[in-house]
Chain A
């Protein structure tokens, strides 16, 4: 299984809502990532988990809260978001989270988030 799955595919939420995005992989990868992508822009790294521990937080606002319950699952909890947070949220995984040979990242299909 070489797939990263993400749910939901689309999400519309108000600024006072609490919601969660879910990501799953069964490739035995020990690194998982959250990216944010605005239209016609490249993916921007938000968080990196290595062996279920948060290793990189790219100064993301606290209204985004990541969680890695086990080596296959990655969640992103959302609370009190702003309209400018509307974007495609991509999850990715790789064998490890260290500079090493051929450590390619595999992306999920993303969750398209709209904040009203």
Chain B
């Protein structure tokens, strides 16, 4: 079951904040976040496990609400290098490491 990501696209000025959401109708074991720049491979950002654990990586952090099966990725004080397409990948409890990716959120950071 493909997760739903929102928004589809975001345009920011350098230094602004953004939130990207990912939700599923299935019981999830984990949520993975990746960033992909044009013509490149997806790059792993972080993984959230069920239990509502919040993780952080530089100025990017994320949360996972197990009750709602929702995850949010928080980008603070955005930099030009944050531009790219952000995908959430969800792993259902019975999926055996099968990641299903959302449609992606295209983030553009302008000077």
Contacts and interface: CB of A to CB of B under 8 A. Distances in A.
B111 interface: no
Taking residues whose C-beta sits less than 8 angstroms from the other chain, chain A's interface range is 20 to 34
B47 interface: yes
Contacts of B40: 109
Interface in A46-61: 48, 50, 55-56
Main secondary structure, interface of A, reads loop
Contacts of A94: 97
Contacts, number: 64
B80 interface: no
Nearest to B92: A99
Interface stretch (B11-19, B65-73, B98-106): B98-106
Given A41-B103, A42-B104, A99-B29, A105 B44 contact: yes
B23 interface: no
A62 to B, nearest CB: 21
A90 interface: yes
A31 B42 contact: no
Given A99-B29, A99-B93, A101-B49, A56 B44 contact: no
Interface string A83-116: 0000000100010111111111111111000000
A2 B58 CA distance: 20
A100 B96 CA distance: 9
A102 B99 contact: no
Interface of A: 31, 40-45, 48, 50, 55-56, 90, 94, 96-110
Interface of B: 29-30, 32, 34, 40-44, 47, 49, 87, 89, 91, 93-104
28 contacts: A40-B104, A42-B101, A42-B103, A43-B87, A44-B101, A45-B100, A48-B96, A48-B98, A56-B96, A90-B41, A94-B97, A96-B97, A97-B97, A99-B29, A99-B30, A99-B91, A99-B93, A99-B94, A102-B49, A103-B30, A104-B32, A104-B47, A105-B32, A105-B89, A105-B99, A107-B41, A107-B42, A108-B41
